[in-house]
Structure 1
Amino acid sequence: MIKKRLNTLLLILTISLSSFAQNLQPYLGCYRVSGDARLVLAENNIFYIVAYATFFQGNWHIENDKLILNPHNPEHFFELYGRYNPNIKGGYKIKFDGFSEEETFIGKDNSDAMQRVFNKNPNCFESAYLQHFNKESDVISFVDVVSENIRDYDRRNTYSFPINKYNDFIAVYNDPRHYNYEMIYPFPKTEKGIIVEDLEQFGKMKMTDKLRKEMDEIIKMGEKMKPKDTLYFNPAYRLFDEPSMNISRDYSFDRSKNAYVSKHNYEKDEELHPEKKQDAYHSKGILYQYDKIPPTKIEIKPFKIIEKSIFTANCAGDE
């Protein structure tokens, strides 16, 4: 009797899931939104929006004849990736990405003072910003400017990260002004297509081999852009996408360098003298693995500001 009931429940569940999938099937495909912008509604309720200099993705579902898009945003405003660098004999270094977009600060866990990363209103930027620090604490902390102008965002949280065994870091600031928020569109089906809120045509594009190929490329791009716990950079800090390479086949791990060395185009000590290698920025000769470090604390923490910034980015003549 129990087995019979279990089989019945499984049958009902299978039918329900099948019906749900069939209900979504008519919506799958590529839509022309406005101009050259494209919206792809893919299986597994993943959507992609592609336009000029714009690409983001998230989850979608249909509810009461409405299309609801929930974009994926970075989990934290600050991220830290680290590795052990045997060439650093004392302290640690940090490469800062995105910190110039807002007023951002760095501090140590045993101090209530936070130092500006960039001067106020920075401009005239260089290609990379690196700084070496003496190890005065086992924790690195970041915070951004206090503001009330950003939706759903209390910009007072201090993020603290443990240094652990690492001494070579890449710090990333995800400015929430660039975050995407939930979008809701009336989505009634008509013979001509689907009508959006402003009554302009939200037309579903006719599937062709060319369009199918473009959609496959968009989905692959989305896979590459998903958050990763491990990143690979060369000594010039160019990020390489691991799925597009075959590290186990084309590289050997060198313990003394704590790096993956190419079996094909590595030049001796190129990581120590990258300027000697032609087009060092694009070189795949040696790759460093950086591991994502989760924050140990995210808390509102009063702090004093050290106004003298680590970096100064000013055009000539600007104050």
Structure 2
Amino acid sequence: MKRFIALCAVSFFITYGFAQQNNKDLRYKQLSGRYGSTTEGIYLFDDGKFLLYGYATAIFGNYGFEKDYLLFSPDKPKLFEVYAYQNKSMANGTRVNFSGFDRGGKTFVQFEGESIKRVFNKDANCFDGPFVYEAKKKPKNMVLSILEEAQWSGEKINYSWLYNNDKGYNDFILIYNKPTHYYENFKGMISALKDKTVLKLAGYLGNKDFLKQQSNEDQQQWLEVLEWKKQYYISKDRVEDVLFVNKHYNSFTPPDSLNYVYNEASNEYISKHAAENEEYYRQNQYNADHYLRKYVKLEPVTKGNARFSENDVSTSSIFYTVCGEGSEKSYHYNGYQKYPEELKKEK
């Protein structure tokens, strides 16, 4: 009798758990769709993923249920990312590309044996990227830091991440993902308004109502978003953390063996169609993908609180840029090659 009761209990929990999962899956399918306008809103997918979109914003994440609420958890990028490459075109020195640092924030860098410097001067503006810094020696390590106060929460953000260069790389890409309220968790609730479905969001995003669009509207756009989502998660789940960029630090998808050949002498992937497209590459140097370089990701050795104040920072910055008075001293990228025909026009 006891064994029978135990088996019934096990059967109940399995059935109950299965029913709960089915109900959950059904809710995802029922809610799937676009909420909002063509310029601002959120896509809910039937696998528990979402895409928040708006002006200069596109953030994927996961959502789930808690009673009548939807709980959203955006994919939060790492504060800093560092990629490194052995640049065989340089006999000496180091090149460092700073990406994302022009979006604002009090960010700092310290190369081995040097003082702490701001990446950009105070009140920097009129940015002309890419932002490439050149040094005369290879740093054995570098520290990236931030001293900031989040405007939406008042939270102090002061971190320093140390990276070692024990393999002697001489070309780096430093990425700063500025903290923003869009990466904070937020809540939502579904409500009915006559024959319409409305998603009410609350949290750091503010209180916003997004109307669900009809399933037969913008079908082509929905398919494009699904493909975008697919590519995002393929990239996110890629085992090998690398970037493929050209000499001006514009990134591209990984080169395939059908169209590219790896050249060990230059440590580059060279397009098999480079020669026939040379004229196009001359006119579009930033978008040229005929020579690609593979940068590997470096993990920080330590992460901790910044142990300095702004009073300890050098008076000079890595880059200086202003509008108006003093703009003649502003940084401008000079990495694009000038061909003979262009030099003739300048005379």
- Greater mean alpha carbon deviation, residues 155-164 or residues 214-223: 214-223
Contact (CA 8 Å) 2:198, 2:212: kept in 1 or not?
Answer: no
Q: Which residue of 2 aligns with 1:285?
A: 290
- Gaps spanning 5+ residues in structure 1: where? none
Q: CA offset at residue 60 of structure 1?
A: 1.2
- 2:283 is paired with a residue of what secondary structure? coil
Q: Distance in 2 between matches of 1:183 and 1:99?
A: 26
State the aligned residue count: 305
Q: CA offset at residue 200 of structure 1?
A: 8.3
- Greater mean alpha carbon deviation, residues 119-128 or residues 19-28: 19-28
Q: Which residue of 1 aligns with 2:323?
A: 315
1:235-291: CA deviations, max 9, x gaps? Answer: 12211133xxx51221111111111111112589x8xxx998232222121111112
Q: Distance in 2 between matches of 1:83 and 1:310?
A: 21
Amino acid in structure 2 at the alignment position of 1:211: D
Q: Which residue of 1 aligns with 2:175?
A: 172
Q: CA offset at residue 312 of structure 1?
A: 1.0
Q: Distance in 1 between matches of 2:253 and 2:153?
A: 32
Q: Which residue of 2 aligns with 1:219?
A: 226
1:162-311 equivalences in 2 (<5 Å): 162-165=164-167, 166-177=169-180, 179-189=182-192, 192-197=195-200, 202-208=210-216, 211-225=218-232, 227=236, 229-242=241-254, 247-266=256-275, 277-303=282-308, 304-311=312-319
Contact (CA 8 Å) 1:232, 1:287: kept in 2 or not?
Answer: yes
- 1:247 is paired with a residue of what secondary structure? coil
- 1:231 is paired with a residue of what secondary structure? strand
Q: Distance in 2 between matches of 1:136 and 1:257?
A: 19
Q: CA offset at residue 196 of structure 1?
A: 4.4
Q: CA offset at residue 299 of structure 1?
A: 1.1
Change beyond 3 A, Cα 1:311–1:51: closer
Q: Distance in 2 between matches of 1:119 and 1:222?
A: 37
Q: Distance in 1 between matches of 2:146 and 2:153?
A: 15
Could you say what the CA RMSD is over the residues aligned between the two structures, in angstroms?
3.3
- 2:157 is paired with a residue of what secondary structure? coil
Change beyond 3 A, Cα 1:153–1:168: farther
Q: Which residue of 2 aligns with 1:154?
A: 156
Q: Distance in 2 between matches of 1:146 and 1:207?
A: 43
1:3-36: CA deviations, max 9, x gaps? Answer: x99x9699646555334312322111222x2574
Change beyond 3 A, Cα 1:85–1:147: same
Contact (CA 8 Å) 2:59, 2:74: kept in 1 or not?
Answer: yes
1:62 aligned to which of 54, 65, 69: 65
Change beyond 3 A, Cα 1:155–1:47: same
Q: CA offset at residue 306 of structure 1?
A: 1.0
Q: Distance in 2 between matches of 1:217 and 1:207?
A: 15
- 2:183 is paired with a residue of what secondary structure? coil
1:2-17 equivalences in 2 (<5 Å): 12=15, 16-17=20-21
Q: TM-score, normalised by structure 2?
A: 0.76
Q: Distance in 1 between matches of 2:52 and 2:292?
A: 32
Q: Distance in 2 between matches of 1:194 and 1:251?
A: 50
Amino acid in structure 1 at the alignment position of 2:24: F
Q: TM-score, normalised by structure 1?
A: 0.82
Q: Distance in 2 between matches of 1:217 and 1:311?
A: 39
Q: Distance in 2 between matches of 1:230 and 1:28?
A: 33
- Greater mean alpha carbon deviation, residues 79-88 or residues 193-202: 193-202
- 2:320 is paired with a residue of what secondary structure? coil
Amino acid in structure 2 at the alignment position of 1:161: Y
- 2:313 is paired with a residue of what secondary structure? strand
Amino acid in structure 2 at the alignment position of 1:22: L
Contact (CA 8 Å) 2:145, 2:306: kept in 1 or not?
Answer: no
Q: Which residue of 1 aligns with 2:344?
A: none
- Gaps spanning 5+ residues in structure 2: where? 202-206, 328-347
